[in-house]
Amino acid sequence: MTATERTLRAGIRGRPLIDGLVRLLGPSKVIGEHPEDLLIYEYDGAVDTATPDAVVLPDDTADVAALARFCHEHGVPIVPRGAGTGLSGGAIPVEGGVVVSFARMSRILEMDVANRRAVVQPGLINLHLSTAAAPHNLHFVPDPSSQKACTLGGNVAENSGGPHTLAYGVTTNHVTGLEIVLSDGTIVRLGGKAEDGEGYDLIGAFVGSEGTLGLVTEITVKLTPLPEDKRTILAAFPTMDQASASVSAIIASGLVPAAIELMDQLATQAVEAAVGAGYPLDAGGILLCEVDGLRDGLDELASRIEAICRENGATTLRRAQTVLEREKLWAGRKGAFAAMGRLAPAYYVQDGVIPRTRLPDVLRTVSEVSKRHGLRIANVFHAGDGNLHPLVLFSDMRELERVHEAGLEILTACVEAGGSLTGEHGVGMEKNCYMPLQFRAEDLALMRRVKTAFDPADLANPGKIFPTPSRCREFQLHATR
């Protein structure tokens, strides 16, 4: 069903919608009386915008279920939103409807230390969970760069990763249970505290579904013991080729560090200006590598990594000697996206994944794309799992078409190298038109049937993941030229 068909069928927008929501939930939970109040909900960390018809801030699962039943009855799209830090347009109400902000559902419901589990609401900030678990010598492993702001519900929606998921896995590897509300208001529980469940892996299907299957209202996650100690190494190289070769060599040696991150010179210059992390400004590539675990043997592992980096041309090697030094090195990496404001007023970030051995080839392609389009591109990425984050810098919205073309060329190169369109940022509405680059029509049809099983009315975050004729026609015409 198209957005126009849904609107004609429902006939509820504007004042009737606001009034109906207020009667349902009360005025304190509904935003929409004044159109200007909706403006902050029309965007996330991506470049596209769309204004919702209303915003609801539920207190609990009962509110969410009542809202979903109301929206289902009236054919109104329902779009979940965490902290709005997403980078693929996942929280943008591209077809209007109601945005559900989970800002008020942000509690830790249970800290089960004995079973190393936590039960939380979707609006809980990622870092707050690890902070609460730390006195028990536990933490939540997935640590996106937006860890201080992003929410667990958003992490589930996008299957978020982060620097330290190389050895431990992304969000889906740390979720054992979900409470979800389907788009018709049905409340469903999937899994629980147990490690494995019977039957189909519906949790695996739901994590990373970007809100298109329903709304998460409760999450059961694994808590992992904090490592006894860590060793963090900074290695600087004259070129990105040498830095990339070191990454492949480290993994090929049999070592699996907790994290391997790479930044090019342009990114390093921005980070140093913003954070002062102590990165060498003359390096073509900066590698951050961390090993953790039992204290005995860590120095030997770190020495092996340093030797590999040295063999591949590292000109600077520095091992953090204190917790403060380690935190300073990671502050630079975690603050890299924000530091881009030192270089340009705006950026467009991509999220392609490639085999590690193809890093030098694809990075050269990124450099060629930069020159061809006359756009500066800074590279900051999870090198250990081949997850690239090229940041295309621009200053004027009139450059946006050129910026999108550059992004498409980079993603095409990633797919052609045997990789993927996204590693942790999701498809959303930024890459849904590009899905045919990676998937056949039959593949997409099967995914659509999964969505239909959960959401037959197509009200859960419509216009995301799947190509839509209205938005993707231009891309299809461009692709056939």
d(CA 193, CA 21): 35
d(CA 243, CA 287): 7
- Please report the DSSP string for 80-145 in residue order: EESSS--SSSTT--TT-SEEEE-TT---EEEEETTTTEEEE-TTSBHHHHHHHHGGGTEE-----T
Task: Indicate if 138 and 244 belong to the same structural domain.
Answer: no
- Please report the DSSP string for 172-189 in residue order: GGGEEEEEEE-TTS-EEE
Predicted pLDDT at 82: 97
Task: Indicate if 113 and 205 belong to the same structural domain.
Answer: yes
Amino acid identity, residue 340?
A: M
Do residues 121 and 109 lie in contact, with contact meaning Cβ atoms separated by under 8 Å?
yes
Partners of 111 in beta bridges: 118
pTM metric for this prediction? 0.94
Q: What CATH number does the domain containing 179 carry?
A: 3.30.465.10
Which of 284, 301, 335 delimits the end of a domain?
Answer: 335
Look up tokens 């991506």; give the residue: 46
The backbone torsions φ and ψ at residue 408, rounded to the nearest 5 degrees and listed phi first, read -65, -40
Task: Indicate if 40 and 113 belong to the same structural domain.
Answer: no
Look up tokens 């960390």; give the residue: 45
- Per the structure, the complete domain to which residue 452 belongs is given by 344-479
Predicted pLDDT at 6: 45
d(CA 416, CA 414): 5
Helix, strand, coil distribution of the chain in percent, nearest 5:
40, 20, 40
Structure tokens at 427: 């498809």
Task: Indicate if 283 and 324 belong to the same structural domain.
Answer: yes
Do residues 427 and 465 lie in contact, with contact meaning Cβ atoms separated by under 8 Å?
yes
Name which of 203, 211, 156 is nearest 462 in CA terms. 211
Name which of 276, 423, 438, 262 is nearest 342 in CA terms. 276
Task: Indicate if 38 and 146 belong to the same structural domain.
Answer: no
Going 303 to 304 to 310 to 314, the CA torsion angle's sign is negative
Task: Indicate if 287 and 196 belong to the same structural domain.
Answer: no
Q: Using alpha carbons, list the distances in angstroms from residue 475 to 79, 347, 405, 468, 480.
A: 25, 21, 10, 11, 9
Q: Which parts of the chain have pLDDT scores under 70?
A: 1-11, 474-481
Task: Indicate if 26 and 79 belong to the same structural domain.
Answer: yes
- Please report the DSSP string for 357-383 in residue order: GGHHHHHHHHHHHHHHHT--EEEEEBG
Look up tokens 């450059």; give the residue: 399
Partners of 236 in beta bridges: 286, 316
Look up tokens 């942790």; give the residue: 424
Task: Indicate if 469 and 364 belong to the same structural domain.
Answer: yes
Task: Indicate if 145 and 218 belong to the same structural domain.
Answer: yes
Amino acid identity, residue 202?
A: L
Q: What CATH number does the domain containing 242 carry?
A: 3.30.70.2190
How many helices and strands (H and E) does the chain possess? 15, 18
d(CA 379, CA 363): 9
Angle formed by the axes of helices 400-416 and 359-373, to 10°? 160
Q: Give the 3-state secondary structure of residue 317.
A: strand
Which of 42, 74, 101 delimits the end of a domain?
Answer: 101
Task: Indicate if 151 and 124 belong to the same structural domain.
Answer: yes
Task: Indicate if 359 and 419 belong to the same structural domain.
Answer: yes
d(CA 84, CA 182): 21
Task: Indicate if 144 and 166 belong to the same structural domain.
Answer: yes
Give Rg (Cα) of the chain.
23
Name which of 31, 143, 145 is nearest 85 in CA terms. 145
Overall domain count for the chain: 4
Which of 277, 307, 335 delimits the end of a domain?
Answer: 335
